[in-house]
Chain A
Amino acid sequence: GAVVSQHPSRVICKSGTSVKIECRSLDFQATTMFWYRQFPKKSLMLMATSNEGSKATYEQGVEKDKFLINHASLTLSTLTVTSAHPEDSSFYICSAPSPGIGNSPLHFGNGTRLTVT
């Protein structure tokens, strides 16, 4: 089945530094990938849609200059948290739709636990 790989699984960084998270579709091409964020005991909140060959689409309330998204190829999207602050600490998860037409289920990476100290 479709596999999405996310790296790193866990990162700790200091305030003011930037962190890059990679999301790869391992055995299929993904022109679109999605970045979600999960707060403790909360739902998965869609942050942005990553589009290969064009700019990402951000959800309302998400700062595009803080969360930089680059869809470098048909199998790779990156999320860079710039000038990280403790309130950016969260669980970030990427996903990509299964290949094919119609309403394909999303396949998720294993997430990245970001802790900003």
Chain B
Amino acid sequence: DQQVKQNSPSLSVQEGRISILNCDYTNSMFDYFLWYKKYPAEGPTFLISISSIKDKNEDGRFTVFLNKSAKHLSLHIVPSQPGDSAVYFCAAGLTGGGNKLTFGTGTQLKVEL
């Protein structure tokens, strides 16, 4: 039972344009969400998070949007840079859940010159 889903396994974007990565979840109890970036043969690196009490959080080129009614979140990267090419995982957690996270299947982003 995949509680966190990333339906697009890959995404290709031109440098300078916006990258939009999507994530859906089924468990309405999740109350905080995170995005991680992963390069091959490395562990994931934390990018940005959002609490369920917010619908938007911004940090530099990265913005995460949360639509609780649709159980959907997205990560916007603008402008996209070649160094952004990586696999992006969304993750969800429960406050009081002991920091345990449930991860999506990942989206491979390729930013082309």
Residues in chain A within 8 A of chain B (CB atoms): 4, 6, 9, 32, 34, 36, 41-46, 49, 91, 93, 95, 97, 102-111, 113
Task: Check if B99 sits within 8 Å of A113, measured CB to CB.
Answer: no
Segment at the A interface, from B14-22, B42-50, B57-65, B78-86: B42-50
B74 to chain A, nearest CB (A): 18
Q: Which of A43, A49, A91, A111 is most buried by chain B, counting CB atoms within 10 A of its CB?
A: A43
A26 to chain B, nearest CB (A): 13
Task: Check if A103 sits within 8 Å of B49, measured CB to CB.
Answer: yes
- Inter-chain residue pair count (beta carbon < 8 A): 61
The chain B residue sitting closest to A107, CB to CB, is: B46
Residues in chain B within 8 A of chain A (CB atoms): 2, 4, 9, 32, 34, 36, 41-46, 49, 51, 89, 93, 95, 98-106
With contact pairs A43-B103, A46-B100 given, residues A111 and B9 touching in the complex (Cβ less than 8 Å): no
Task: Check if B45 sits within 8 Å of A108, measured CB to CB.
Answer: yes
- How distant is the Cα of A103 from the Cα of B49 in the complex, in angstroms? 10
**Chain A neighbourhood of B98, CB < 8 A:** 32, 49
- How distant is the Cα of A110 from the Cα of B40 in the complex, in angstroms? 10
Query: In terms of DSSP, what is the predominant structure of the interface of chain A?
Result: strand
- How distant is the Cα of A109 from the Cα of B45 in the complex, in angstroms? 9
**Chain B neighbourhood of A34, CB < 8 A:** 99-101
Return the 4 tightest CB-CB contacts between A and B, nearest first.
Answer: A108-B43, A97-B99, A105-B46, A44-B103
Task: Check if A110 sits within 8 Å of B43, measured CB to CB.
Answer: yes
- How distant is the Cα of A109 from the Cα of B43 in the complex, in angstroms? 5
Task: Check if B99 sits within 8 Å of A103, measured CB to CB.
Answer: yes
**Chain B neighbourhood of A103, CB < 8 A:** 32, 49, 51, 93, 95, 99
A48 to chain B, nearest CB (A): 10
The chain A residue sitting closest to B31, CB to CB, is: A103
Known contacts A41-B9, A42-B105, then 5 further A-B pairs from the complex at CB < 8 Å, ordered by chain A residue: A6-B43, A34-B101, A43-B106, A103-B32, A103-B51
**Chain B neighbourhood of A107, CB < 8 A:** 46
The chain A residue sitting closest to B47, CB to CB, is: A105
